[in-house]
A and B are shown apart, each in its own frame.
Chain A
Amino acid sequence: MDKKNTSPIYWPWLPAAFALAGIIVFIFATFGPPASSSGFVSLIKGAVQTVAPGYVENNPHYATMPDTGSWLFAFVLGMAIGGFAAGRTGRIQVRDIPEIWEKRFGNSRIKRFAATFAGGFIILFASRLAGGCTLGLFISGSTQLAVSGLYFGVLIFAVAMVTAHLVYGNTGKEE
């Protein structure tokens, strides 16, 4: 690689963990356990409500979840704004296709976008089945000492590692 001078500058993990934990504790004090997969449900509920209010009213999943006028939706919207602000003020290179993916599967945007669509579909389906995601179940759950969060956490890390090895093989290791 000839990109020596444009190496991304990331925050070191330890101070960043203190910063994130401060935010999480603030959320526990002012709202409750933070969650992000619920924000997806709130967005769809808000959108579908406007065209098919009857469907939303009779669906037990939407009944348990607030619509777009909620903390849960404001939180995920805020995450996009925070990502935007951090991206505009930092030096981390933004790519539409990750480097390692391009090395393994080439630079077809259609292929990568189809893969992330499928990946997004699976992770949100799974999150709703479990009742939470990396944040709403693993991080929030483990912080509350919940066995559900720890159990989910062990599985997602182990299976993601196996999957990544199957998907990428030895790509990237030659560097």
Chain B
Amino acid sequence: MGSEIWLGLLSGIAFGFVIQRVGASNADKMARAHLMMESDIPKFMLMAVILSAVGLLGLEAAGVANTRVLPTSLVATGVAGILFGIGWGFCGYCPGTTWAAVGEGRLDAVFALIGGLAGAAFFAHLHEFFIPLLYDPFNVGQITLADWTGSRPAAVVLLVFIFGLCIGAIHFLWKGKNGGQTP
């Protein structure tokens, strides 16, 4: 086994530990976030992106970043976003949190994991049908905010500003500000 396996395992353990502790693997907390009753998880996710984007800029300056921007397909990414939102709002798990929740011992997450394996296998089987139909014709390429702002640092500033506004809006519009702990 190469070092990449150990790096993956180590990264996963750290990642799973943090998302369990912040409550992202708790479907109850996730549902309350979607219902605007509890603001921790969305603020956590957006802030993690802000900090990671700044960190990635540093990695790029140091020349050690490995990036791979996924293309935007207006139809495939759009349809997938809507379907994903339905599944996420309905069951309260997303692919990553499912694994942490299974490890934590939540039985309903085990079924989300099995359902996920079935869904991924189903897509893989129909890949040749869906990709040319929904993805390829509407693919506008690997566009990033930097294509619009002209430079990567300026795009990071724009991202930080937009996500910062979202965090502020969530903080003031969502009701729960006490970490979701029932008083």
Contacts and interface: CB of A to CB of B under 8 A. Distances in A.
A138 B116 CA distance: 18
Contacts of A99: 28
Contact of A71 (B4, B77, B131): B4
Contacts of B73: 130, 148
Given A10-B179, A124-B95, A160-B88, A145 B21 contact: no
Chain A, interface size category, equals 35 or more
B82 A168 contact: no
A85 B144 CA distance: 37
A13 B46 CA distance: 10
Nearest to B22: A16
Contacts of A120: 87, 91, 93, 98, 111-119
Interface string A46-60: 001000000000011
Interface centre among A44, A97, A129 (most CB of B within 10 A): A129
25 contacts: A13-B44, A14-B47, A40-B117, A60-B128, A75-B11, A78-B10, A79-B15, A80-B103, A85-B17, A87-B105, A95-B28, A109-B108, A114-B111, A124-B95, A126-B87, A127-B80, A128-B120, A142-B49, A144-B68, A148-B142, A159-B81, A160-B89, A165-B35, A166-B89, A173-B35
A172 interface: yes
B13 A164 contact: no
Given A20-B19, A92-B20, A130 B77 contact: yes
Contact of B144 (A20, A84, A147, A161): A147
B112 to A, nearest CB: 4
B52 to A, nearest CB: 4
B115 to A, nearest CB: 3
B42 A144 contact: no
Nearest to B14: A23
Contacts of B152: 145
A86 B16 contact: yes
B64 interface: yes
Contacts of B103: 79-85, 87
A124 B93 CA distance: 11
Contact of A41 (B59, B120, B159): B120
A129 B93 CA distance: 18
Interface in B35-79: 35-37, 39-45, 47-53, 55-56, 58-59, 64-73, 76-79
A69 B1 contact: yes
Interface string B8-35: 1111111111111111011111011011
Contacts of A10: 21-23, 29, 40, 179-181
B181 to A, nearest CB: 4
Nearest to A55: B125
Nearest to B145: A145
B129 to A, nearest CB: 11
Contact of A17 (B47, B87, B180): B47
B84 A122 contact: yes
A78 to B, nearest CB: 2
Contacts of B179: 10, 12-13
A144 to B, nearest CB: 5
Contacts of B165: none
Nearest 10 A/B pairs, CB to CB = A78-B12, A159-B85, A82-B16, A119-B91, A163-B89, A155-B81, A120-B115, A83-B103, A74-B8, A83-B100
